[in-house]
């Protein structure tokens, strides 16, 4: 399926269903909208899934992983080898996302979109098996290349590779939806990817590099200045077109960021909610938004990262974060935590009875 075909099949959430859901909420046995944002979440899920009996019990988190050529500019506090090492940790079940996904009752599927080392010595499950089996943490090898090129010297990837990363993310997520996943979280792993994400954010939103760039893995003042210089150089050399998501992705992005963008498009196509995470996940969502603004109907912002550019990208898409816990780990951790709140909103909508059903007198008119 081509990108144009994917996008052409995306329709807005059903506002009529949202209105009907809101009418039911107004009759729940409590003061009107007493649970605040939980009501809005439940109603949005109704509109997304086109039903007044929404469900988000079947959950999964996609962790897209890839290496970045820009890491050669010492933009991270960690060496590039950490990407492959963390992929192994995800599959072994010992990382932050594994803990929080287990708590949320979500499976974790790690996708090697372009990690430099070979990680195929670990068990590999096809996405369909990951959706059906009892394997908690599965690994898919969908390597486009062994890392991107250094975008301070030229484009990070070819336009063909950019499209391949989007299509790959779309296909992986589509398989999960076809096998019954009702709520998807989008996570990431890749040393150097906050630089790529900040470059994407600056290119699309127009905010200055110094305003949209954060400290990522925790670089010091000198490292932060070096990171900003690298991002600005990449933008100056490559001149990405903010109206062309593939151009932005190809020039300053990453394979895993493209994969996340594709997964967001798939969620909208399959009428499923997707929870985006922090800066990197949101950069992928931002690219999907450039291609098709309607995808915002299907996105929930899991949390507000301490990365300063994250909020700017969320505002560009009109999204409000569910949580604000001072987090900056990535991996999909904020998305996994927000799944609890999203499920709570759905359960409140479905399980709290109305005044009529309870036989309780409503407020005086």
Nearest Cα neighbor of 200 from 153, 145, 261 is: 261
Nearest Cα neighbor of 199 from 159, 273, 262, 257 is: 257
Burial class (CB in 10 A: 0-12, 13-18, 19+), 347: middle
Q: Please state, in angstroms and rounded to a whole number, the distance separating the CA atoms of residues 302 and 308.
A: 16
Residues 6 or more apart whose Cβ sits within 8 Å of residue 36: none
What sign has the CA pseudo-torsion 273, 216, 305, 105?
A: positive
**SS3 (DSSP) at 61:** strand
Q: Please state, in angstroms and rounded to a whole number, the distance separating the CA atoms of residues 121 and 83.
A: 15
User: Which residues belong to the active site?
Assistant: 331
What sign has the CA pseudo-torsion 19, 24, 25, 26?
A: positive
Strand partners, 64: 111, 188
Q: Please state, in angstroms and rounded to a whole number, the distance separating the CA atoms of residues 278 and 257.
A: 12
Q: Please state, in angstroms and rounded to a whole number, the distance separating the CA atoms of residues 277 and 281.
A: 5
């Amino acid at each position: 399926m081509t990108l144009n075909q994917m996008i052409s099949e995306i329709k807005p959430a059903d506002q009529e269903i949202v209105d009907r859901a809101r009418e039911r909420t107004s009759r729940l046995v409590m003061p009107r909208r007493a649970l605040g944002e939980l009501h809005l979440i439940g109603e949005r899920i109704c509109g997304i899934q086109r039903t007044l009996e929404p469900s988000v019990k079947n959950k999964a988190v996609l962790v897209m992983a890839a290496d970045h050529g820009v890491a050669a500019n010492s933009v991270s506090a960690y060496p590039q080898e950490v990407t492959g090492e963390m992929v192994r940790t995800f599959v072994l079940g010992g990382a932050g996302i594994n803990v929080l996904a287990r708590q949320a009752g979500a499976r974790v599927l790690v996708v090697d979109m372009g990690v430099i080392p070979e990680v195929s010595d670990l068990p590999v499950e096809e996405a369909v098996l990951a959706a059906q089996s009892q394997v908690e943490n599965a690994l898919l090898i969908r390597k486009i290349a062994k890392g991107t090129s250094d975008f301070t010297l030229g484009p990070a990837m070819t336009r063909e590779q950019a499209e391949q990363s989007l299509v790959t993310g779309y296909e992986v997520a589509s398989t999960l939806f076809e096998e019954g996943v009702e709520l998807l979280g989008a996570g990431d792993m890749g040393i150097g990817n906050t630089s790529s994400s900040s470059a994407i954010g600056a290119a699309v939103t127009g905010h200055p590099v110094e305003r949209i760039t954060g400290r990522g893995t925790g670089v010091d003042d000198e490292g932060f200045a070096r990171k900003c210089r690298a991002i600005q150089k990449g933008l100056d050399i490559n001149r990405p077109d903010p109206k062309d998501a593939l151009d932005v992705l190809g020039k300053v992005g990453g394979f895993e960021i493209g994969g996340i963008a594709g997964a967001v498009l798939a969620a909208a196509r399959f009428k499923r909610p997707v929870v985006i995470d922090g800066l990197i996940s949101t950069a992928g969502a931002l690219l999907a938004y450039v291609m098709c603004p309607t995808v915002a109907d299907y996105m929930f912002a899991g949390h507000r990262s301490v990365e300063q550019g994250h909020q700017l990208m969320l505002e560009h898409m009109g999204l409000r974060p569910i949580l604000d816990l001072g987090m900056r780990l990535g991996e999909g951790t904020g998305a996994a935590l927000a799944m609890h709140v999203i499920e709570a909103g759905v359960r409140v909508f479905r399980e709290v009875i109305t005044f009529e059903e309870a036989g309780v007198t409503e407020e005086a008119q």
